Amino acid sequence: MDLILQLLANGISNGSQYALLGIGFGLIFGTTGIVHFAYGPVFAASAYVMWWLIAALGLPFPVAVVLGMAFAAGFGVLAYLVIYEPLVERGSPSFVVLVASLGLFIVIANTLAIVFGTDAKTLPDFSYGIYFLGDVVVTGVQIAQVLVFMAVALALSAFLKYGTWGSAIRAVTDNVDMARIVGIDTRKVAIVVFAIGSMISAIAAANLLVREGASTHIGFFAVFYAFIAVVVGGVGSIRGAAIGGLLLGLVESTGMWKLPTEWQSTIAFLVLFVVMLWRPTGLLRGN
């Protein structure tokens, strides 16, 4: 029983991180239709930048996070303006945009390896507490991951529901053609969405930096889990990405109970496969 509770706690915590990544990725994907694989390396780059700001420049953690978010936003918007927009404008089929995004993924990932090396970058003497909830042990980072995810999800929901930009984003997500017809500047919406989505990835990067540091493969895993969370949950809603991410975390952590860790990403694929067979449009879009 204690073990199950412990696995559940781990699952919710990891799931929150996947959900957070999924929300950012899904916002970009749902609104623009662009499968932004370079979301991963942008996430990784912001983790490295935050590490550098803290370890080399000695900036306080919160300041580094804010700067890291700004960096990610700029990077994401640049990717859209320089790579994706020219292709989309030209009416390129979506697989061309997909290939471009994979190309961008490789370029950024390699650049990061050249600039920062391949060894893991961890924060110097960053301590967080360990808490006991009954017999369940959780770390401060695990709790933070859940709280950060909830805060971001609520803030983003409110933004989409009540702001002018939010309603423009929802309109574009629903029907781009109609959005243009009512006079929404769909280009600006794409830019805003790339900025916000990338900022969310930077928040997730801050979590990871505290938990285990930045290393070569974090970008790949980030976009891999974000993608699966979004597809499993259903494209086009925050709730979908959130549910997809949490489910992924829970299934994965209960799977780890009996299986060695090498199977971790295979479990994620299995979740994707099973859900897609059962509900091809994702959990929240059954119709």
Neighbouring C-beta atoms of residue 167, cutoff 10 Å: 13
Count the site residues for another protein by CB under 8 A.
17
Is residue 159 involved in binding another protein (CB under 8 A)?
no
Burial 80-104 (b: 16+ CB within 10 A, else e): beebbbebbeeeeeeeebeebbeeb
Work out which of 98, 99, 180, 254 binds another protein, going by CB under 8 A: 180
The answer to whether 27 and 197 have CB atoms below 8 angstroms apart is yes
Q: Which stretch binds another protein (CB under 8 A): 167-175, 191-199, 214-222, 253-261?
A: 167-175
Enumerate residues 6+ apart whose C-beta is below 8 A from 193.
27, 28, 31, 32, 169
Is residue 181 involved in binding another protein (CB under 8 A)?
yes
CA dist 226 and 22 (Å) reads 4
Is residue 168 involved in binding another protein (CB under 8 A)?
yes
Is residue 177 involved in binding another protein (CB under 8 A)?
yes
Is residue 169 involved in binding another protein (CB under 8 A)?
no
Work out which of 28, 47, 108, 184 binds another protein, going by CB under 8 A: 184
Question: Quick check: helix, strand or coil at residue 127?
Answer: coil
Is residue 189 involved in binding another protein (CB under 8 A)?
no
At closest approach, how far in Å is the CB of 237 from another protein?
9
Which C-beta is closer to another protein: that of 22 or that of 30? Answer: 30
CA dist 112 and 205 (Å) reads 15
Work out which of 24, 41, 236, 240 binds another protein, going by CB under 8 A: 236
Q: Is 178 exposed, middle or buried (0-12, 13-18, 19+ CB in 10 A)?
A: exposed
CA distances (Å), origin 13, targets 25, 37, 181: 19, 24, 42
Nearest to 44 by CA among 134, 116, 132, 152: 116
Q: What do you get for the CA distance between the two ends of the chain, in Å?
A: 37
Residue with the two structure tokens 């979740």: 271
Is residue 86 involved in binding another protein (CB under 8 A)?
no
Is residue 200 involved in binding another protein (CB under 8 A)?
no
At closest approach, how far in Å is the CB of 192 from another protein?
15
Residue with the two structure tokens 């390699």: 110
Is residue 170 involved in binding another protein (CB under 8 A)?
yes
Is residue 171 involved in binding another protein (CB under 8 A)?
yes
Is residue 239 involved in binding another protein (CB under 8 A)?
no
At closest approach, how far in Å is the CB of 196 from another protein?
19
Work out which of 113, 167, 266, 269 binds another protein, going by CB under 8 A: 167
Work out which of 125, 182, 258, 278 binds another protein, going by CB under 8 A: 182
Is residue 96 involved in binding another protein (CB under 8 A)?
no
At closest approach, how far in Å is the CB of 36 from another protein?
22
Contact set with another protein (CB under 8 A): 164, 167-168, 170-171, 174-175, 177-185, 236
